[in-house]
Amino acid sequence: MRVARSLLLVAMLPLFAACQLLDGPDESASHAGQTRMQGQLTAADGKLLFQPCNEQRSYVVNDTGGTSVLQEAATLADARGKLFADVRGRIVADGANNRLDLQQLYRVERSGTACDDPDFKKSILRAAGHGPEWNVKVSAKGMIIDRVGQKPLALPYVEEQLGDGRFNLSSEANNQHIELWVAPQRCVDSKTGSVQHMSAELRIDGKVQRGCGYFGGSRDD
């Protein structure tokens, strides 16, 4: 419970932290100087720190984007394990005062293994929901839909941009009309409590199942 108490103490401070760098150019001018990162969150000396995946250095988090990640971390913190975060921001190296100016929160969750995900960098989008269980993994090769009690569906798709950051992926394969609708909206997983930056709806032949989603390592807009 020490981690939980420490995070609660700093929940109101404008600080947070982050990690593993993804190669590739910025998606737009608004991303200039910023990097997509993943890593572990910890609290120390009244500050929230982020340690990059597979690195020893930690950064004090400065929530310049108003992401409320400190409050999200405090809500998730308990005795059950480590906190993982996926973010975008700018690292400022100033001797011993290294910090991360945080601009975008993609997700924060309880996990001690997320840094070891071998498919993250190749992934475009992931979405999942419950009641019944379903998840969708999207890459440049297509999308794979897993639903409880059914065989996985591997499908080609067409993406349509709808404005305001919303888009949908659709497929007419296997004599089914399948759509995944995604919108930039804070979403809390009803089962795990993880916070993700997009809401998602999986629609198959008119049946709607709701859940949350986040961009994979090959897309960070």
Q: How far apart are the first and last CA of the chain?
A: 36
Task: Say if residue 109 is in the same domain as residue 128.
Answer: no
Name the domain count of the chain.
2
Higher-pLDDT residue of 74 and 182 is 182
CA pair distance 48, 88, nearest whole angstrom: 16
Mean per-residue pLDDT, 212-218: 96
Residue type, 23: D
Torsion sign over Cα 75, 208, 128, 63: negative
Instruction: Judge if 22 and 102 occupy the same domain.
Output: yes
pLDDT of amino acid 184 = 96
pLDDT at site 220: 74
- For residues 166 and 97, membership in a common domain is answered with no
Residues 94, 136, single domain; the answer is no
Report whether pLDDT(4) > 70. no
94 and 197 within one domain? no
Residue 60 within any structural domain of the chain: yes
pLDDT of 20-29, one tens digit each?
Answer: 333 333 444 4
Q: Above 90 in pLDDT, residue 117? A: yes
- 152 and 92, same domain (yes or no): no
State the residue range of the domain holding 165.
123-215
- Choose one of 81, 116, 151: the last residue of a domain: 116
**What is the pLDDT confidence band of residue 93, given thresholds at 50, 70 and 90?**
confident
By DSSP bridging, strand 178-188 and strand 83-92 are unpaired
Give this prediction's pTM: 0.83
Q: Please give the pLDDT value at position 11.
A: 40
Torsion, CA 72, CA 221, CA 211, CA 209, rounded to 10: 170
Q: Identity (one letter) of the amino acid at 30? A: S
The CA distance from 157 to 171, in Å, is 5
Lowest mean pLDDT among 5-19, 56-70, 94-108, 126-140: 5-19
* Statement: residue 2 has pLDDT above 90: no
DSSP H/E element including 47 = strand 47-52
With respect to residue 221, please indicate whether it lies within any of the assigned structural domains.
Answer: no
In the predicted model, what is the mean pLDDT of residues 71-95? Answer: 84
CATH number of the domain within which 99 lies: 2.40.50
Give the tens place of pLDDT for each residue, 38-49.
Answer: 999 988 787 889
107 and 133 in a single domain? The answer is: no
- Specify if 220 maps to a domain: no
Tell me: do 13 and 63 sit in the same domain: yes
Percent of the chain with pLDDT over 70: 84
H/E/C letters for each residue in 187-206? EECCCCCCEEEEEEEEEECC
Side-chain half-sphere CA neighbours of 203 within 13 A: 13
DSSP H helices, 69-215, are: 69-76
Polymer length of the chain: 221
Facing residues of 210 across strands? 201
Q: Which of 4-13, 74-83, 210-219 has the highest mean pLDDT?
A: 210-219
